[in-house]
Amino acid sequence: MRIILFAITFSCIFSVSMARADDYVIGVQDMPYAPFSWTKGGEYFGVGRDILDSFAAAHGYQFSYIALPYLRNLKGFLAGDFDFQFPEDPAWSNEIKNKSGKRIYYSDALIDYIDGVSVLSKRGAIGLDELKRMGTIIGFSPVDAYRKRAAQGNLYIYENPVVDGLISQLLLGRTDGIYLSIDVVQNHMRRMNMPGAATFAKHLPYRKSNYKLATIEHPELMKEFNAFLADSEDLINKIKASYELNY
């Protein structure tokens, strides 16, 4: 009887461990930044999740998501609390990453984006010298051209914790422009039934980059993920199109 009971117990433990072998936890940024990411009722949504879940489904993995502010996520990621971190960029928080001594593996690009200045459409031709007040999200770092002007006293950069607050300031005329993802601004304008109210001032300095997945413990799985990105271009483009990503 003991032998049978032990066999059953061992079998259950083995089955659970096997089930967990393909379960991974991804630390994600808890910030309302649609269409890239947002949370509702504790659930994480966005174009990034759709791409990650498509990969997991294709390879028999199970992903779960923990949404926290970026620096708290990064601390947990470096401590080994999460298997992956998303979104990530090798240029973000380099001092913290280097201090950890951990080797971080980054995926190929999941999603391209442009961080730039959005202005009211009626001021679409605004010049750099006319940009006196500019809002951005707390923790964002605008490109050097704006930081230099701020250091010279020619531009006041203020921060807001949420996109809605920045857009309200822009629509009320309390700021000359807002610096964040162009797709995020356009997404908010569509949700407010105000498409075309704001425009990307593409003649002003901007930054073009992409979001990546990062891992410390699973470089081999990252190779699988990169292969998926390369082999699933049509699927990924359909996902992006469903979120109306234009930049």
- Name the more confident of 45 and 9: 45
Calculate the average pLDDT of the chain: 90
Kindly state the DSSP code that residue 122 receives in the 8-state scheme.
Answer: G
Find out whether 85 and 26 touch, Cβ atoms under 8 Å.
yes
Find out whether 189 and 195 touch, Cβ atoms under 8 Å.
yes
Single pTM value for the model: 0.86
pLDDT at 77 over 70: yes
- Name the more confident of 244 and 3: 244
Residue 215 amino acid letter: T
Tens digits of residue pLDDT in 55-67 = 999 999 999 999 9
Q: What confidence score (pLDDT) does residue 42 get? A: 87
Tens digits of residue pLDDT in 203-242 = 999 999 999 999 999 999 999 999 999 999 999 999 999 9
Tens digits of residue pLDDT in 144-176 = 999 999 999 999 999 999 999 999 999 999 999
pLDDT bin (cut points 50, 70, 90) of residue 2 is: very low
pLDDT bin (cut points 50, 70, 90) of residue 79 is: very high
pLDDT at 6 over 50: no
Beta strands in 92-227 (DSSP E): 105-106, 111-120, 133-137, 156-160, 177-181, 198-200, 207-215
Tens digits of residue pLDDT in 7-44 = 333 333 333 334 456 899 999 999 899 999 999 988 99
Dihedral of alpha carbons 36, 142, 107, 219, sign: negative
Judge residue 219's burial from the number of C-beta atoms within 10 Å of its C-beta, 0-12 exposed, 13-18 middle, 19 or more buried.
exposed
